[in-house]
Amino acid sequence: MTIRAQVLGAAAGGGLPQWNCGCTNCNLARQGAIPAQTQSSLAISADGQSWTVLNASPDIRQQLAQTAPLHPTALRSLPLRSVVLTNGDIDHVAGLLTLREVQPFDLFATAGIHDVLAQNPIFDALRGEVVPRLTIALDTEFSPVPGLTATLFAVPGKVPLYMEGDTVQTELMGEQTVGVEMIAGSTRIYYIPGCARLTDSLRSRLNGADAVFFDGTLWQDDEMIVAGVGQKTGKRMGHMSISGPEGSLAAFEGLDVGRKVFVHMNNTNPVLRPGSVEKAKAEAAGWTIAQDGMELML
Ligand code: MLT
Ligand code: MN
Ligand code: ZN
C-alpha cells in the first residue's frame, strides 16, 4: 500500500510573502527571486481517489485550485472526504470557512479543538448535518479516508494565540496540539506541524517511520527578534527550532526515519531560500525542505 502525500502549503501562518512583512525572504518572494509558499497544509490519500486534508489553511481555495487530484470529478463530486485538525491556530482552521458551500466532508479533531471551534460561531457556517464534527480521543484509531488508519497523539504545544490568557504554558501536553500518525499497510508516516519539544516518548514513536513531516517554523529560536519583525522567540510560540543543541536536527539524530521533511516554515526562515547555508545544512542532515506542490509516494 502506498501513501500519497501532497504538500498543499509549506509555510507557517502568514505565508511567504506575508502581507505586511518587508523582511529579506518576503521581499525576495515578491520579486519572484525565491518561490512563494502558501500556509500550512498537507493532503493525504491511500488510494489516490479519496483525500483527507490535514489542516485547513486560509489559502485552501488557491491550494485546491492548483492541486489536480483534489479537483471535482463531477458537478458536485469531490475527492476531498475529510479534514483533520492538529490545533486551533488560525493558519490551520480559517480555511474551513472557504469549505462552507454545503459540501459534505467529515471534520475530525480532538474534543479540545472542537471546543475552540464551537466558541467561534462563525464556524456554524459549516452546517453540522453537512459537515459532521467527529471527536477523536487521543491515541485512538480512526479512518479519515479509505485505506488509511490515523491516530492523534499529544505533542508539547500551547493553546491558539487568540485563546491565550495572561499566562501561557508553551509545553502543554493534551488535546490542544496533536500530531497525526497515519498507517496504510506497512507504511507509517507522521504529520507534526507544531511541536515545542521532541520528548523521549515522541522520539520512540517516530523511530522506524517511513516519513515524518515536522515543525520547521524557525531556523533559530530568536530569529524573529534578530530579523526585527517581532518580539517572540520560537519557544514562546510553542515551536522548537531547527538548529542548535535543542533543535530538531539534533533531536532526530540517531532516529531511523525514511523521509524527514520540514513543513510550516515561518517567512523569516533562511531554509526557504534556495542556496542558503542553512538549507544546505538541513539537507546534509537528511532533511527535505517542503515546497508547495511537493508530492511524496511512501
Ligand atoms: C503558530 O504556528 O505559532 C501560529 O499559527 C501562530 C499564529 O496563530 O499566527
Ligand atoms: Mn502556525
Ligand atoms: Zn517576512
Percent residues over pLDDT 90 in the chain: 99
CATH of the domain at 237: 3.60.15.10
Calculate mean pLDDT across residues 136-156: 98
206 in the Ramachandran plot: left (φ > 0), alpha (ψ -120 to 50) or beta? Answer: alpha
Is residue 42 within 8 A of residue 6, CB to CB? The reply is: yes
For the segment 108-132, the average pLDDT, to the nearest whole number, is 97
Percentage helix, strand, coil for the chain under 3-state DSSP, each rounded to 5: 25, 25, 50
Separation of 163 CA from ligand 2 center, angstroms? 14
Residue 228 falls inside a structural domain = yes
Q: Give a yes or no: residue 112 inside a domain.
A: yes
Nearest-Å Rg of the Cα atoms of the chain is: 18
> What distance in Å separates the CA atoms of residue 194 and residue 65, rounded to the nearest whole number?
26
127 falls within a domain: yes
Instruction: Identify the pLDDT of residue 1.
Output: 72
One-letter identity of residue 11: A
Structural domain count of the chain: 1
Q: Is residue 171 in a domain?
A: yes
Which residue lies with its CA nearest to atom 6 of ligand 1? 13
Please check whether residue 298 lies inside any domain of the structure: no
CA of 36 from ligand 1 middle (Å) equals 18
189 backbone dihedrals φ, ψ, rounded to 5°: -130, 165
| pLDDT band with cut points at 50, 70 and 90 for residue 171 | very high
Nearest ligand (C-alpha, residue 161): 1
Q: Is residue 110 part of a domain?
A: yes
User: Residue ranges of the alpha helices (H) in the chain?
Assistant: 24-31, 60-65, 90-93, 111-118, 200-206, 223-226, 248-251, 277-284
pLDDT at 93 over 90: yes
At 180 the three-state DSSP class reads strand
For 182-209, the pLDDT digits (tens) are 999 999 999 999 999 999 999 999 999 9
Distance between Cα 85 and ligand 1 center (Å) = 14
Q: What digits encode the pLDDT tens for the residues 13-27?
A: 999 999 999 999 999
Alpha-carbon gap, residue 2 to 201, rounded angstroms: 26
Asked if pLDDT for residue 148 goes beyond 80, the answer is yes
pLDDT tens figures, 217-252: 999 999 999 999 999 999 999 999 999 999 999 999
Average pLDDT on 267-286 reads: 98
Between the CA of 111 and the centroid of ligand 1 the distance, in Å, is 20
DSSP string computed for 92-156: HHGGGGGG-SS---EEEE-HHHHHHHHT-GGGGGS-TTTS-EEE--TT-EE-SSTT-EEEEEE-S
Across all residues in the chain, what is the average pLDDT?
Answer: 98
Range of the domain at 176: 4-293
Domain membership flag for residue 262:
yes
CB 88 within 8 A of CB 82: no
Q: What pLDDT is recorded for position 212?
A: 99
| Residues with Cβ–ion distance below 5 A, ligand 3 | 21, 23, 26, 267
Taken in order 231, 236, 237, 242, is the CA torsion positive or negative?
positive
Contact 78, 102 (CB under 8 A): no
Return the percentage of the chain with pLDDT > 70, whole number: 100
Q: Which residue has the cell 534578530?
A: 226
Q: Which atom of ligand 1 is nearest to the CA of 194?
A: 2
pLDDT band at 101 (very low <50, low <70, confident <90, very high): confident
173 close to 167: Cβ distance less than 8 angstroms: no
Query: What number does the ligand 1 atom closest to the CA of 14 have?
Result: 9
Has residue 128 been placed in a domain?
Answer: yes
Distance, first Cα to last Cα, the chain? 9
Task: Judge whether 186 and 149 are in contact, CB under 8 Å.
Answer: no
Q: List residues near ligand 1 (CB under 6 A).
A: 12-13, 89-91, 161, 194, 237, 239
- How far is ligand 1, taken at its centre, from the CA of residue 219, in Å? 16
